[in-house]
Amino acid sequence: MDNIIEAKDVWFHYQSESFEEDAPIKEVLKGVSLDIKRGEFVAVLGHNGSGKSTIAKHFNAILTANKGEIIVDGINAADDEKLFDIRQRVGMVFQNPDNQIVATIVEEDVAFALENLGVDPAEMRERVDNALKDVGMYDFREHAPHQLSGGQKQRVAIAGIIAMCPDCIVLDEPTAMLDPIGRKEVMKTIKKLNRENGVTIILITHYMDEAAKADRIVVMDSGQIILDGTPKQVFKNVDLLKEVGLDVPQVTELAYGLRKNGIDIPDDIITEEECIEEIIKIIEKAGK
Amino acid sequence: MAIIKTEDLTYVYSAGTPFEKKAIDNLNIEIEEGELVGIIGHTGSGKSTFIQHLNGLLKPSSGKIFIDGTDIWQDKQTTLATRFKVGLVFQYPEYQIFEETVYKDIAFGPKNMGLSEEEIDKRVRETAKLVEISDEQLEKSPFELSGGQKRRVAIAGVMAMRPKVLILDEPCAGLDPKGRDRILDKIKEYHEEQKSTVLLVSHSMEDVAKIATKILVMNNASIVCYDEPPKVFGMAEEISKMGLDIPQITKVFNALKEKGYHIADDVYTVPYALKKLLAYLDNKGVKGNA
């Protein structure tokens, strides 16, 4: 199978800020192995400090492993010479939209990376226009970024990445600072890029409802992967998820509570529709 | 008497320019002392503009604000005194930490109030304890702390001033579920201990529902409603149209009601939903093992 990213037994610790020679090393990643298939939509969950952002920063070589290796589209991420190739294949979007915008006009911001890469102006025009259309911000191409909402800024940041035609986009809590409308816009954009353009998506999030929309969920705790599967498989583990400081969708929790009380309802409910349907089934069955 | 009262409060941004925009329009509200009010509204609804009026950071274009019965703009002294009476914690308050030690940072506000050393020390330690910052951490540089800890320190800095009204703008933004619940718990504890008035701005009805005694909904520069949580959640559909998130569980119970299965109207937390649903099922003859 074609993997866009392969992590093999990755260990990582940050440089100690202490001046003491024998300051203990705190391992942030403790042997993470993970394959991401081309075209997959993977959500990564974990509480603060679980290592989820740290592993994500390995995927486009912002950080390099102390031990183990990361292979991006067949290229070893530890190879300094290949840094540009890796960054072109894997783009990264961060949490704070205000920290990612550099230009004073939306379309110039989207073109920024292309200018650095020396892309031909005619092609640049086309790529910038297409990227802005993909995220639904084409009409705002001549606006100043400060006139945009948080969700719109975040979509401009995504457009800047798409313009580089990456195979994979890593988004580190892209909706954490947005309001519900902004969140919806960004999630819609991400899903569209995945389904229609075939871009591999790695979404780091605290929102369980966003994770429920992915093909696959990876849960991290203390620098290790503790769960990996479809949303239905992962959210079944209500107790374990709560133990590591995470939530499950409310409907999953409700079904879990019903089961605990001896009511027969499936343990893999993750959407509102399923929940409504199953509750009605139970009520109707009783009526007969 | 109401601790906060506004009379026809209106604020216009960039008045007299093509960008003129009414951010709040003729607001009249009275908030009783001791309430824990959740303020919800989507971006641009006017909620941040509203709270910035309450401690005199913004001056109304027209209308009046009374804190504790006094017009806060009646003279300069009153306006300044209001800043101590009404404590405002901004969004991402951890970016405003600047002192060398956690202790000094929490002490900054009380010091400015001209309190005695002893009183300052007492308040710093009490507040630190409340937000679970240890004595050892008090001596550390704030920049050695984690994001969640820094936020608790920044909030403690305002709490230590013991304002009659504490206002927090999106205190849970960007935190993980555990960090979010912890901050909400601390705010609730503070509210119960101090018996003061607390206003909490949020996008998330779910967060607000966990602790608020009243909910204030804002939309289009106006107040849509100000009522107890169950009543506000009863208006789920209208609120959803304003671009606010309704808890998933509320949506499920509303949909069930539409399909003719009326279980309860005011569901917004899972434990309550479970209780109501089990009772409903029990009534229908579905028996669990409990």
pLDDT band at residue A18 under the 50/70/90 scheme:
low
How, if at all, do strands B36-40 and B21-32 pair? unpaired
Alpha carbon distance A31, B24 (integer Å): 54
Of A206, A251, A262, the CB nearest to B177: A206
- Which residue segment(s) compose the domain that A267 sits in? 249-288
A253 lies in the same domain as A241: no
The domain over range B2-229 is classified in CATH as 3.40.50.300: yes
pLDDT tens digits, A40-73: 999 999 988 899 999 999 999 999 999 999 999 9
Per-residue model confidence (pLDDT) at position A24: 72
**Pair (A200, A276) in one structural domain:** no
Tell whether A150 and A202 lie within a shared domain: yes
Q: Cβ A48–B203 below 8 Å, yes or no?
A: no
**ipTM of the predicted assembly exceeds 0.85:** no
The answer to whether A217 and A41 have CB atoms below 8 angstroms apart is no
- Closest Cα partner for B94 from A272, A5, A96, A91? A96
The per-type count for chain A, helices as H runs and strands as E runs, is 11, 10
Same domain, A228 and A256: no
The answer to whether residues A238 and A107 belong to one domain is: yes
Pair (A18, A149) in one structural domain? yes
Q: Give the pLDDT confidence score for residue B95 in this predicted structure.
A: 87
| Separation CA B270–CA A7 (nearest Å) | 38
A-to-B residue pairs, Cβ atoms closer than 8 angstroms: 112
The answer to whether residues A152 and A228 belong to one domain is yes
Do B203 and A246 count as a contact with CB atoms less than 8 A apart?
Answer: no
**Cβ contact B288–A180 (<8 Å):** no
Q: Given an 8 Å threshold on Cβ–Cβ distance, is A263 in contact with B286?
A: yes
B194-253 residue pLDDT tens: 999 999 998 778 788 889 999 999 998 999 999 998 888 878 788 888 878 788 898 999
CATH, residue A235: 3.40.50.300
By CA distance, what is A173's nearest residue in B?
Answer: B174
Please give the Cα distance from A88 to A100 (Å, whole number). Answer: 17
Does the CB of A271 have a partner CB in chain B at under 8 Å?
Answer: no
For chain A, what is the domain count?
Answer: 2
Contacts of B207 (CB under 8 A, 6+ apart): B38, B172, B180, B184
Both structure tokens of A222: 């203390």
Does the predicted model carry a pTM greater than 0.95? Answer: no
**Residues A255 and A171 occupy one common structural domain:** no
Q: What's the pLDDT score for residue A224?
A: 96
A287 and A236 in a common domain: no
